[in-house]
């Protein structure tokens, strides 16, 4: 009998690739549950998901069955050995619960780098040059907003600090270096293959004191909730800008808003929010900031790459026993 693969959520772009990658080596079944209770019942002996060994998962599935927290993970059948998450961020999956159950988890790094980095670049350009408010002003029949030149700057010659020089951060560094901007960064450790023009700072506050724009590119986990808080925000140069394309909860939103109110921050560019899809109405009181609705990977090219990469991890699990893109907490783990 062919191993069973559960597609937990909708495939939008990679239907042919699903057949090519998994059609001949597995039995593909699709999510057929409108509630968590029905989903977990499906993993009971004789249930519709009985015998599933691998799961393709998208965040959209949480609307029906909830996130993959410990309760859900513990309710999966003993046959489940791999969860291939479609996305770079995987905060909707309790990875520790998966480790306890000896279930590997993969994500889709690399596939999101260009799209997320260009979103960060747009937010940076818009906040430096105040393009968002200028477009709104034109559409309202007012042409230029008052005081535009006094609030605006070129990017050339300014210092961009990247918090987390992973794939997304590195791609943003490459794009911003072209202006050129000075690129500085802090990661858990120095990135050995980073170009020489990427300056590593072990001391975050020393880096922030030289920073005109801080771009946040770290994953959300217990250690990064509120990471960019009052202390780090106040360590930035007066008049600095913050860009966030990571996760909303990485930044202390109240501290950020206080810094906008008193002028310590000149602006922010946000793609992510702590309680999506809700957006704090206080943010809407700042006309010069740039806000977009978590659209970092919202294009068909990137979304197809993400789908294919997640499916490829499942293919590799079935054929060679290991997918390429294990999440950080799983690297080096052997069950």
Half-sphere exposure of 32 (CA within 13 A, CB side): 8
247 is catalytic: yes
* Catalytic position from the list 85, 158, 182, 247: 247
Please report, to the nearest 10 degrees, the dihedral formed by the alpha carbons of residues 205, 209, 214, 219 taken in order: 0
Among 60, 276, 298, 324, which one carries the catalytic annotation?
A: 276
Provide the phi-psi class of 143: left if phi over 0, else alpha when psi is between -120 and 50, else beta: left
Active-site annotation holds for 276: yes
CB 184 within 8 A of CB 208: no
* Residue 315: partners with Cβ closer than 8 Å, 6 or more residues away: 21, 22, 25
Residues with a known catalytic role: 247, 276, 294
């Amino acid at each position: 009998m062919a191993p069973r693969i559960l597609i937990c959520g909708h495939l939008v772009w990679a239907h042919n690739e699903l057949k090519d990658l998994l059609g001949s080596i597995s039995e593909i079944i699709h999510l057929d549950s409108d509630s968590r209770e029905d989903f977990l019942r499906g993993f009971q002996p004789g249930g519709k998901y009985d015998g599933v060994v691998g799961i393709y998962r998208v965040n959209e599935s949480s609307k029906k069955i909830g996130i993959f927290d410990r309760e859900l993970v513990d309710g999966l059948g003993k046959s489940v050995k791999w969860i291939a998450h479609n996305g770079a961020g995987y905060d909707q999956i309790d990875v520790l619960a998966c480790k306890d159950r000896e279930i590997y988890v993969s994500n889709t790094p690399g596939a999101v780098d260009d799209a997320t980095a260009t979103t960060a670049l747009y937010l940076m350009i818009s906040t430096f040059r105040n393009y968002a408010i200028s477009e709104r002003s034109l559409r309202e029949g007012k042409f230029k907003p008052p005081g535009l030149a006094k609030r605006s700057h070129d990017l050339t010659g300014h210092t961009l600090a990247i918090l987390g020089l992973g794939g997304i951060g590195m791609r943003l560094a490459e794009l911003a270096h072209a202006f050129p901007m000075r690129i500085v960064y802090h990661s858990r450790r120095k990135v050995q293959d980073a170009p020489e023009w990427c300056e590593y700072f072990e001391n975050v506050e020393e880096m922030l004191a030289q920073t005109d724009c801080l771009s946040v590119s770290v994953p959300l986990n217990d250690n990064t909730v509120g990471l960019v808080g009052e202390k780090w925000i106040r360590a930035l140069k007066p008049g600095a800008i913050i860009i966030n394309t990571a996760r909303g909860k990485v930044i202390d939103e109240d501290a950020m808003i206080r810094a906008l109110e008193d002028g310590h921050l000149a602006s922010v560019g946000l793609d992510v929010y702590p309680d999506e899809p809700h957006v704090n109405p206080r943010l809407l009181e700042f006309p010069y900031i740039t806000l977009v609705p978590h659209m970092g990977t919202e294009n068909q090219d990137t979304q197809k790459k993400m789908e294919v990469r997640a499916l490829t991890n499942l293919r590799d699990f079935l054929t060679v026993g290991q997918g390429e893109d294990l999440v950080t907490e799983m690297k080096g783990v052997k069950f």
